[in-house]
Each structure stands twice: as structure tokens, then as C-alpha cells.
Amino acid sequence: MEFTLIGLWNQMGGVAKAVGIILIGLSIISLYLLIERQLVFFRARIKSKNIALKLAGMLKNGQLQDALNLSSKKENKGSHLARVTSAAIHEYMEGKQANLSPTEQIESASRGCDRSSTIFTQELKRGLNTLATIATSSPFIGLFGTIFGIMNAFRGMAVTGSGGIGAVAGGIAEALVTTAFGIGVAIIALWCYNFLNARIEVLGAEMSNTSSQMVDFFIRRRDSEV
């Protein structure tokens, strides 16, 4: 028996090969989700950076409608800063049109920020459940291949009528390869999950900070109007 990846693959049974193909597919999915989410996060940061100064200037000059129009544009939909700002201004202006008290307008804007942050966070987390499932299930999928590898080892013993290493080497190698592969895929998926989750927490903190700034802006606006 040739103890190389190709040699081991050729010696593996059908079930073990199927397990290997599944694990390869799961590793590709994990890497795809890592890259796809990274692009989403990158666009969110770039778009937010591009409009941050414009929004700040509009708000400083009291141009709420202009700030709402800018943050609500379709091309800024992927910006976490724009989403929170748009929700805050929209709810504030809706409250003003409904003749709510200044304090109630601010509370309405704050709730709008919270809702927008929650919705956008869920959008950012898209695919993370898949990564978590891959991370937890991959070792068990590998273990499934391990069982059949051990069965092949026993089958080799039965066929040869010997318990020598030559009779069981193929099955044992097959079992170890699928186990190692399953653990490797789980590590990749877990690393991707933790990395992306950490990035989402950073964006969540930025949305929370923006929400706080918007509430402070409306409070100062209320006090200046009194």
C-alpha cells in the first residue's frame, strides 16, 4: 500500500470516499462564506466612510431632510451608518408630524435606531449558522467514515485470515484520514465563524455609537428649540 494522499484515496472504500467528498464540499462552503461576508463588511465600511462627513455636515446645519435623502439612497443601503441614521431621522420626523412631544420624538428615534441595528446585524450574520453547523457536524461526519474504515480493517483480517499489520493497514489508514479530515474542516469552519463574528461585533459597536450620537443630536436640537 502506498501511503500518499493519492494512494490512500485509491485504497479507500466507497463510503469513505463519499465522506471525503462531503467534507471537501463543506470546506469550500466555509471558505466561500468567509470571503463573501468579508466583502459585505468591506462594502459597509467603505460606504459608511464615504458618507459620514456629508451626513455630519448636514446634521450640523439642521438639514434633516437632505440627510434622510442621502442615507436612504439605494447605493447606501449596505452602509450600517446610513441605515441607522436613516431610521433615526425617519422616526424622528414621523413623530414630529404626529405631534408627539419632543421627548417622545427622541424616544421614537431611539427605538428606530435599535430596530435598524437589529435588522442589519441579522443581515450581517447571514451564513454564520451554516458555519456553526459545519464546525459542529464535520467531526461526526469524519467519524462516520472512521467507522467504515475500521470495518474495512476487520474485513481485511477476515479475507486474509491474519491479524497482521498488512491486513489492517488500509482500513486503519482510511479511518484515520477521514477522522483527521473531519477535524480539519471543523477547525476551518470554527475559525471562520469566530473571525466573522468578531467583525460583526465591531460593526455592531459602531452602529450603537451612531445610535447614541443621533439621540444626543436630537436632544441638543430639542434643547435649542425650547
Mean pLDDT, to the nearest integer, of 125-133? 94
Mean pLDDT, to the nearest integer, of 2-6? 56
pLDDT of residue 61: 87
pLDDT of residue 66: 92
Tell me the per-residue pLDDT of 158-201, one tens digit each, with 9 for 90 and over. Answer: 665 555 555 455 556 667 778 888 899 999 999 999 999 999 99
pLDDT > 90 fraction of the chain, expressed in percent and rounded: 51
pLDDT of residue 167: 47
Into how many domains does the chain fold?
Answer: 1
Per-residue exposure over 47-79, b if at least 16 CB sit within 10 Å of its own CB, e if not = bbeebeeebeebbeeeebebbbebbbeeebebb
pLDDT above 50 (res 146): yes
pTM of structure:
0.81
Range of the domain at 103: 5-225
pLDDT above 60 (res 69): yes
